[in-house]
């Protein structure tokens, strides 16, 4: 018992930096994405924004994140995970918030969108850097918990951003525009207090520094040497050119992330895995997963205006307060997903969640059509709970399982860029769809959810409790998801397909 408790304590201590990285990176990510929804009405009144302009401002952060995904992949390859996260977060948060504030005073819509694009570069970079660091620096026994804490901290950042807009955001408009810079500054300080990834240090030939980093994390001398031997064995398995491939300039690393990712998607050994992840990325965002949060206060105001003709409040912006219910539902869904993903499985949760999301958006469509604030809000909350239980967490788990180490470096950046591109498109068209189609907007996104369920049923295999090598081999062979890849003995030299 004492040995078990000591081992658990050591494991938690050695993974403390990974938890810190996950919590800080996710919080910054969620805060920057969610803030705009709460101040959108104040921006509309100050700048006279139409539906298209509002969509462009909301989507601009994700447009910047498309670039940021490749920036993050290239910069962490060149400078290391810790330094890349620290510098990218500080530069993009401070620069983006200051730019947004200046152009808001000049009432320039294009300038505000540019400032949010700069913020988005940091969002996209962190979406690549933070999961990579957490995967490399957490113990195997807590790797799932560390990854889940990242998604939960995204929700925490959204809750913080939403809470900042409860009390009449038009009265604190300028301070809110500057607040991402404050969050980013303190986040960069937290990144500075973490240790560098030992795997990156070993890859760059800095074994002594890697040993020092492991000792700082609380590992014993025996554990340090075992970890170093394991890392070096992994590097040898990746080939002699793996270390040299990282020793390049930033522009070369950025170009490689773009070119290698595209090559892997269309002509690589793992093109089926990349295409599967790309399709899941599109469905993840095109079902309006973040658009519903960003525009929920506008949606509810439209319903209330159609009913009573007025949406003015004395002190608290009640519609931004309602948005917090959606974020709480998202948080609860992520927590539920964590508890079920290894027992129920990835594929069933994706299937059930997609169908439930479509039905919930159908209920939202009905509530909007009959001008019921309560029914519309209930439908959006049910959608967010269903989506968070399925795609929000499981998408990242599946992506982490279907790529080999050889392909992961470029493929993850390429897939993350596609995720943000789909999100930018959804955020861009949502207000225009709402203005032209009304309740039909939610029917459109419900159809996307049902299409996602059909895609999962036809193409997504179950990856739970399967060795990564078997999952990757199954995808390379293009086997249907209802068939299980089962390797035979070396003497037989063949595979058996056992129908589930």
Q: Would 404 be classed as within a structural domain?
A: yes
User: Looking at the 3D structure of the chain, how many domains does it have?
Assistant: 2
Q: How far apart are CA 405 and CA 401, in angstroms?
A: 10
Q: Which two tokens stand for residue 3?
A: 């040995």
Same domain, 210 and 308: no
Same domain, 172 and 240: yes
221 Cβ contact partners less than 8 Å away, ≥ 6 residues apart: 215
- Nearest alpha-carbon partner for 386 in 322, 310, 445: 445
User: What is the rounded average pLDDT of the residues 380-384?
Assistant: 96
pLDDT (0 to 100) of residue 492: 40
pLDDT (0 to 100) of residue 40: 82
Question: pLDDT-based confidence at 297, cuts 50/70/90?
Answer: confident
Q: Which of 247, 271, 303 is the last residue of a domain?
A: 247
Q: Would 259 be classed as within a structural domain?
A: no
Q: Would 267 be classed as within a structural domain?
A: no
pTM above 0.85, yes or no: no
Same domain, 225 and 321: no
Same domain, 347 and 219: no
Same domain, 240 and 332: no
Q: Which of 200, 228, 247 is the last residue of a domain?
A: 247
Same domain, 236 and 376: no
Q: How far apart are CA 157 and CA 180, in angstroms?
A: 11
Same domain, 412 and 326: yes
Q: Which two tokens stand for residue 145?
A: 């918990």
Q: For residue 481, what are the CA distances in angstroms to 276, 281, 318? A: 12, 18, 46
Same domain, 189 and 316: no
pLDDT (0 to 100) of residue 440: 95
Domain membership of residue 365 as a residue range: 286-478
Same domain, 163 and 303: no
Q: Would 485 be classed as within a structural domain?
A: no
Q: How far apart are CA 100 and CA 61, in angstroms?
A: 11
Q: Which of 196, 218, 247 is the last residue of a domain?
A: 247
Query: In this model, does residue 41 exceed pLDDT 60?
Result: yes
User: What is the rounded average pLDDT of the residues 477-495?
Assistant: 50
Same domain, 314 and 234: no
3-state secondary structure of 323: helix
CATH number where 49 lies? 1.20.1250.20
pLDDT (0 to 100) of residue 498: 38
Q: How far apart are CA 23 and CA 147, in angstroms?
A: 10
pLDDT (0 to 100) of residue 2: 37
Question: pLDDT-based confidence at 52, cuts 50/70/90?
Answer: confident
Q: How far apart are CA 395 and CA 29, in angstroms?
A: 17
Q: Would 453 be classed as within a structural domain?
A: yes
Same domain, 192 and 119: yes
Q: Would 364 be classed as within a structural domain?
A: yes
């Amino acid at each position: 018992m004492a040995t078990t408790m000591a081992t658990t304590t050591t494991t938690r201590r050695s993974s403390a930096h990974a938890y810190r990285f996950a919590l800080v990176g996710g919080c910054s990510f969620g805060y920057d994405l969610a803030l705009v929804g709460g101040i959108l009405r104040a921006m509309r009144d100050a700048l006279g924004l139409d539906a298209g302009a509002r969509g462009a401002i909301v989507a601009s952060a994700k447009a910047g994140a498309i670039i940021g995904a490749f920036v993050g992949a290239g910069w962490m390859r060149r400078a290391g995970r810790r330094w890349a996260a620290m510098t990218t977060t500080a530069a993009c948060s401070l620069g983006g918030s200051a730019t947004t504030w200046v152009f808001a005073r000049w009432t320039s819509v294009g300038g505000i969108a540019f400032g949010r694009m700069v913020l988005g570069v940091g969002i996209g970079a962190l979406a690549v850097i933070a999961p990579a660091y957490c995967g490399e620096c957490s113990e195997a026994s807590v790797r799932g918990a560390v990854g889940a804490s990242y998604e939960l901290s995204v929700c925490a950042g959204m809750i913080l951003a939403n809470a900042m807009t409860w009390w009449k955001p038009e009265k604190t408009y300028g301070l809110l525009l500057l607040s991402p810079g404050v969050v980013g500054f303190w986040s960069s300080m937290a990144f500075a207090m973490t240790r560098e990834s030992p795997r990156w240090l070993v890859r760059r030939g800095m074994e002594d520094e890697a040993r020092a980093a492991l000792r700082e994390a609380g590992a014993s001398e025996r554990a340090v040497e075992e970890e170093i031997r394991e890392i070096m064995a992994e590097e040898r398995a990746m080939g002699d050119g793996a270390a040299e491939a990282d020793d390049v300039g930033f522009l070369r690393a950025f170009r490689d992330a773009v070119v290698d990712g595209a090559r892997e998607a269309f002509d690589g050994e793992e093109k089926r895995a990349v295409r599967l992840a790309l399709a899941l990325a599109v469905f993840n965002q095109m079902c309006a997963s973040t658009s519903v949060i960003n525009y929920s206060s506008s949606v509810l105001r439209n319903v209330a205006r159609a009913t009573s003709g007025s949406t003015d409040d004395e002190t608290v912006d009640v519609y931004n307060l309602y948005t917090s219910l959606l974020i709480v539902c998202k948080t609860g869904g992520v927590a539920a997903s964590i508890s079920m993903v290894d027992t129920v499985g990835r594929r069933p949760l994706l299937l059930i969640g997609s169908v439930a999301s479509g039905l919930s958006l159908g209920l939202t469509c009905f509530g909007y059509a009959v001008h019921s604030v309560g029914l519309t809000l209930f439908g959006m909350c049910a959608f967010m709970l269903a989506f968070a239980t399925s795609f929000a967490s499981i998408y990242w788990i599946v992506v982490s399982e279907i790529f080999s180490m050889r392909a992961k470096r470029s493929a993850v950046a390429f897939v993350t860029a596609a995720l943000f591109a789909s999100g930018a498109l959804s955020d861009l068209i949502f207000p225009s769809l709402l203005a032209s189609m009304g309740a039909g907007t939610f029917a459109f996104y419900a159809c996307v959810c049902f299409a996602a369920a059909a895609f999962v049923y036809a193409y997504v295999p179950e990856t739970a409790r399967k060795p990564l090598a078997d999952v990757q081999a199954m995808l390379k062979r293009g086997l249907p998801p209802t068939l299980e890849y089962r390797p035979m003995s070396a003497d037989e030299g063949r595979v058996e397909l056992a129908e589930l």
